[in-house]
Amino acid sequence: MPPDNPPQLTLAEAKAQFIQTWGVSGASWGVSKTLAQVHALLLVSPAALSTEDLMEQLSISRGNASMTVRDLLDWGLIYKELKPGERREYFVAEKDMLQVTRCIIRARKRRELDQMKRSLDQLAARQSAGCRLPDLSHRAERHSAARHQRRQSAHAHHAGRAQLVLGQIH
């Protein structure tokens, strides 16, 4: 008996499935589904797309498309491409997945870890200035071991500094 062959997807179906899957995975990066879907569409598009193209193909508003494009440009995941004689801006995605990963890590560091570092630096400065900080040890005890371990691995450098600052408070 021959093995069951799943039905072949058309190119359009495969593209739609990829865009949907990439959009869902965006949550793990800490970004919106729309941002990830726009990125996915640009990743699989053979040519640069305009904001209008993005709006039409993903059924999103102009405001949503514009904000999403701006965010993707800030993250370094897409680039503007100029077309002679065209007034519209066109966009193309970074196709090198290693570079995409670097861009995501750099953006998340800037959004999350740098902010945490600034907070810890402020705590350390207050401690150095002699300000009495509240006892935070009871909050630390509430965290489960699993959550503590996830935070430690994700923020090892900053967690060590936090322990130093908290240790000086007691």
Q: Going edge to edge, which strands form the sheet with 49-50?
A: 49-50, 90-93, 78-81
Going 22 to 82 to 71 to 153, the CA torsion angle's sign is positive
122-170 pLDDT, tens digit per residue, is 888 877 777 665 655 445 455 444 454 554 444 444 444 444 433 444 3
pLDDT surpassing 90 at residue 89: yes
% of the chain exceeding 70 in pLDDT: 74
- The more confident residue out of 43 and 31 is 43
CB atoms < 10 A from the CB of 160, how many? 11
pLDDT surpassing 50 at residue 117: yes
Q: Which of 3-12, 18-27, 34-43, 104-113 has the highest mean pLDDT?
A: 34-43
Q: What is the pLDDT of residue 169?
A: 40
pTM of structure: 0.64
Could you tell me the CA-to-CA distances from 40 to 47, 48, 104 in Å, in that order?
13, 13, 14
60-83 pLDDT, tens digit per residue, is 999 999 999 999 999 899 999 998
| Domains of the chain, earliest start first | 11-95 (1.10.10.10), 100-169 (no CATH)
Q: How high does pLDDT run on average in the chain?
A: 79
Judged by phi (left if over 0) then psi (alpha if -120 to 50, else beta), residue 48 lies in: beta
48: closest CA among 84, 92, 79?
Answer: 92
